[in-house]
Amino acid sequence: MVTPTPAQLRIRDHDQLNLLAIAPAGCGKTEALALRIQGLLQRGAIIPPRKILVTTFSNRARDNIRERIQVYIPPAQLRDRVSISNFHGLSARIVRAHAAVIGVNPEATLPENDWVGEQCRRRGLQYNAIGIVQELFRQIKQEPVDDTEVERRLVDAGNQHALEIERQRKQENRLTYDDLPRLAELILQSDGVADLYRNHFAAVVVDEFQDLTPQQLRIVNRIGDQRTTYAGDLAQGIYGFAGARPAEIDKAVRAECTEVIEFSDSHRSSPAVLSMVNSLAPRTGGQQLSSAVPESWPGGGLSGIVTFATAAEEGDWAMKLSKAVLTRAPKQRVGIISRIASRRRFADEAIAASGVPHHRWDDGVLDTDTAKVMKAMLSQLNTKELAKASDPLEFLRAAANLESIQDPSGREALAGALTWCHDLLAEGNDPAEIRSRIRVGDNNTLITVPGVHLLTGHVGKGQQFDWVIVIGAEEGCIPDFRAKTPEAIAEEARVLSVMISRARHGAIVMRAQSVPAASTGVAYSKQESQFLTPLRDSSPLDSAGIVKWVNATDWTSIAAR
């Protein structure tokens, strides 16, 4: 058990049920929420049999907070007094129990995968067209509208694919991930149902409040208005594409809560890394952070900005720096992170050719049984027959004999793996290459393993690496070319800040002056990212300074920290 900080103790002991905790990356948010739950239970603020509802955005976050709560309260008390769920799980629970209130069949099939994306692929839609369909569903279904109104709006939108998919969904009596919170909100508009949940849950805890959509906040308010603890950080709000509205949600939550407790001491990152994060704060809406124990970081940590003539040179340098770090500290983790996966491809290739232990987070990390099926299927896959197939995804499902899998979780795992495989094949990847990229593991496999980790900024949120190398700090990449409005640009700054703040000892931001297009190979000149201007205020090192720092620093101390 760790020694709580003063801010964590204030959160634990706050005697009102509503509270906002501003907790930037590495400041001990999960620990604070576990302490908060302990405090509410120990001082009798929640009287049995009423419970505390804890909401998260992913299974991984749910498991993390459960693990921390177990440190502070006994297992039986956790089981009887605390309910932990991600938002889709909470919505599914509400729909299953009360669907009849709004005339929906409670036995409707719940989502096991991206059914909408799967139907788009079956119709032969390409990446951009799939995105348009999914965005249209998201926009419509994040409002409290019934099925009739959904279809009317789809007709007005004029997207025939989306309309056909929605009609198929209703005909098959199934729900998608967008339907769950939509229907849950409609159900909670019934005062009788809302009262049931308000009486059952005396308090609510929301992790990562900045990632809430307005719809999710409305659901939370129907259950726990004025009785909710929100924790998170505006500077980590990077899910606008999923409907999150960080600035809007931050304003609403601050209006709701009578007390705001802010963290400012980071226990994760070195002073050098925090200096980079702080330089972006005016753009991210974050606060200035300081290292909790600055003297404990060898060399004060490392930060740098390096420019290369080409993306290939950038990738090669990232490989050499990673190799230098892992030669000196083999058990550490280096995260090579980009805004989009395709921009990272030169670093991926250099790392793969180097022999350095590495892990691609966009590869298939599958359970043993699923991996065996996929490897066998790919080793015998007839690509000529696949090319002739009217429905390539169905061809793959038949080749893998998906229908023979009886266990629901096994079917879900294999269906997801086949979708991943389908997309790689559609991009022109060879079956043997895809087969080589399958790794056996589970959701926790990549979290602690040493070596180089290749991932994107959104995937890396919530993770931690000893070193971070950011690839592709150019206009059009970060910020993304689609970011046109001030809020969209601010979110791109938050994406960069999140990438940098994953680092413990050091963070290096790289960019190339010339980058070939992924589709044609034609090289294009690139302007440096506008975010490099504020980053330079943090006094980062250049390439020569980085090499000097690596050679001069006490790596025994680094490896031990």
Q: Determine contact, residues 205/231, Cβ cutoff 8 Å.
A: yes
**Domain 6-90+189-263: which CATH number of 3.40.50.1370, 3.30.930.10, 3.40.50.300, 3.40.50.720:** 3.40.50.300
> Per-residue confidence at 231, pLDDT binned at 50, 70, 90?
very high
Rounded to whole angstroms, the Cα distance separating 481 from 472 reads 13
pTM (two decimals): 0.90
Per-domain residue ranges of the chain: 6-90+189-263, 112-174, 271-360+446-560, 365-437
Give me the pLDDT at residue 118, please: 92
Does the structure show a pLDDT above 90 at 448?
no
For residue 102 the two structure tokens come to: 């709004």
Q: What is the DSSP letter of 451?
A: E
Site of tokens 């899998």: 405
For residue 456 the two structure tokens come to: 């994107």
- CATH architecture for the domain at 271-360+446-560: 3-Layer(aba) Sandwich (3.40)
The answer for residues whose C-beta is within 8 angstroms of residue 182's C-beta and 6 or more apart is: 141, 142, 143, 144, 145, 215
State the pairing for strand pair 302-310/228-232.
Answer: unpaired
Q: Which amino acid is at 453?
A: H
Please tell me if the domain spanning 6-90+189-263 has the same topology as the one spanning 271-360+446-560: yes
> Per-residue confidence at 431, pLDDT binned at 50, 70, 90?
very high
Q: Which amino acid is at 88?
A: H
> Per-residue confidence at 98, pLDDT binned at 50, 70, 90?
very high
Q: State CA 173 to chain mean position distance.
A: 30
DSSP string, 358-388: EEETTS-EE-HHHHHHHHHHHHT--HHHHHH
pLDDT in tens, 374-423: 999 999 999 999 999 999 999 999 999 998 887 766 888 898 899 999 98
Residue 8: name the closest of 210, 19, 17 by CA.
19
